Structure 1
Amino acid sequence: MNSKDLKLIYIWDAYCGWCYGFSTGLNEFHKMHPELPITVLSGGLFVGDRKRPISDYPHIPGANQRIEQLSGVKFGDAYQELLEKGNFVLDSEAAAKGFAALEHFSSEKAYELAAAMQKAFYSEGKSLSEEATFREIADAFGLDADEVIKRFKSDEAGRDSLKAFHTVHNLGVNSYPTLLLQKGEKLIKIGGGAMSAEKLEENFRTALQNDSLES
């Protein structure tokens, strides 16, 4: 099959610790395959009645330890303080709006922008509901920060984030992270959890030969 018929679809949530861990392997895999375009879709993990203080999710500290062990990522001291205080509200809709605003001005760097958002939260303890966080990311990527913030506060960003949520729902994906390979008209899951670049490569090669594989 021609490589032009292949692309990656990465389904994540900015407040998903497993996505933060997955970023290490995905980043390496992405560098190995620059020929594969990657679409990034926000999944909406903490929306509706799940938009609650982080202390309402007591499994998170234990999960973070497991993520560190499996992926090698580190959760920063500033994030650990948020975790200990417990009153930080996880709001995936606000984060998705911020991502949509950034992506609007630099769609070719969608994955890098997503990774920058997770670094801001999990390493630096910065809120993904605050304008200041997206202003810093915009500046780091050479984007017009004022335009990014204007977009972040607009109805368009809200519509873009909801469109992403609906697309993910229609794909039948309810677990984050999920990496799909689009092979012509077929979608094949090749990654999730804290998977290494080597395992992603193995799954990718298998997917090129078959239409199904174990995730």
Structure 2
Amino acid sequence: MVNLTYLFDPLCGWCYGAAPAIRLLAAQADFHLRALPTGLFCQPGRTIDADFAAHARRNDQQIAALTGQVFSDAYRENVLGSNTGFDSTPMVDALTAVALHRPERELSALAAFQTARYVDGRDVTDADVLADILQALDLHEAAAIITRPATRVAAQTRISEGRACAQSLGLQGVPQLLVQPAGQHILPQALPGKLLFGDLAQLPAQIRQLV
């Protein structure tokens, strides 16, 4: 068994680009994957201005070219063009709510949030929108506790753990994937980031070679 720790932020476009790789790895029978947010974009009050929107569009074009992930007109118009929020705190809270009740569904919830943003053009910095998405996924218990103080505390604990993992290996930014053989008390090693955007058919074998 190989333990994988996925460090991410739900508002990170590159994490959206890495989503196909993460889905593939999560489906491997000999891999155990857990996701930890780092809080990179937990910035209450921040909104998308024109300069940031232009920066995001440039990144989006690179990500789409590498991965084939969709960045729709609805996203460009309703999210980048509408001065919406850019604070991942509500999303981290919502994902933590899922992790508390149905941890095996967290990655599918993350994928649904990413699709809602980048394909459907919805404002996923709005807790009501997130609750609506979780309801549609039949994650009613998680939807009910997104804004509870206990969920925020649990989310902050996860962020602290994610940051500690990154700092222990001198890592900056997301996405990051840490690889560690199960049962061995050694520091995990970070997978070269380019592998998450390369030939996905080779990715599981490349990780097995590391351990």
TM-score if structure 2 supplies the norm length? Answer: 0.84
- The equivalent residue for 1:44 is 39
Q: Of 145, 157, 162, which aligns to 1:163?
A: 157
Distance 1:59 1:190, change over 3 A: same
1:72-106 CA-to-partner distances (Å, cap 9, x unmatched) read: 10112221113442411111112111111122221
In the alignment, structure 1 residue 127 sits paired with structure 2 residue 146:
no
Q: Which runs of 5+ in 2 are unaligned?
A: none
Task: Verify the 8 A CA contact 1:12 1:42 in the aligned structure 2.
Answer: yes
Q: Which residue identity lines up with residue 39 of structure 2 in the other structure?
A: G
Cα deviation for residue 54 of structure 1 reads: 4.8
Q: Which residue identity lines up with residue 117 of structure 1 in the other structure?
A: F
Distance 1:56 1:150, change over 3 A: farther
Q: Distance between the aligned counterparts of 2:80 and 2:93, measured in 1? A: 26
How does 1:61-140 map onto structure 2 within 5 Å?
61-140=57-136
- DSSP 3-state at the match of 2:197: coil
TM-score if structure 1 supplies the norm length? Answer: 0.83
What is the number of equivalent residue pairs in this alignment?
Answer: 201
- The equivalent residue for 1:211 is none
- DSSP 3-state at the match of 1:37: strand
Task: Verify the 8 A CA contact 2:41 2:89 in the aligned structure 1.
Answer: yes
- DSSP 3-state at the match of 2:172: coil
Distance 1:190 1:123, change over 3 A: same
Q: Provide runs of 4+ in structure 1 moved above 6 Å.
A: none
Task: Verify the 8 A CA contact 2:93 2:146 in the aligned structure 1.
Answer: yes
Q: Which residue identity lines up with residue 204 of structure 1 in the other structure?
A: I
Q: Of 189, 198, 203, which aligns to 1:200?
A: 203
Cα deviation for residue 30 of structure 1 reads: 2.6
Q: Which runs of 5+ in 1 are unaligned?
A: 209-215
Task: Verify the 8 A CA contact 1:131 1:149 in the aligned structure 2.
Answer: no
Q: Which residue identity lines up with residue 152 of structure 2 in the other structure?
A: G
Q: Distance between the aligned counterparts of 1:35 and 1:110, measured in 2? A: 19
Q: CA RMSD in A?
A: 2.2
Task: Verify the 8 A CA contact 1:19 1:176 in the aligned structure 2.
Answer: yes
- DSSP 3-state at the match of 2:85: coil
Q: Distance between the aligned counterparts of 1:134 and 1:35, measured in 2? A: 32
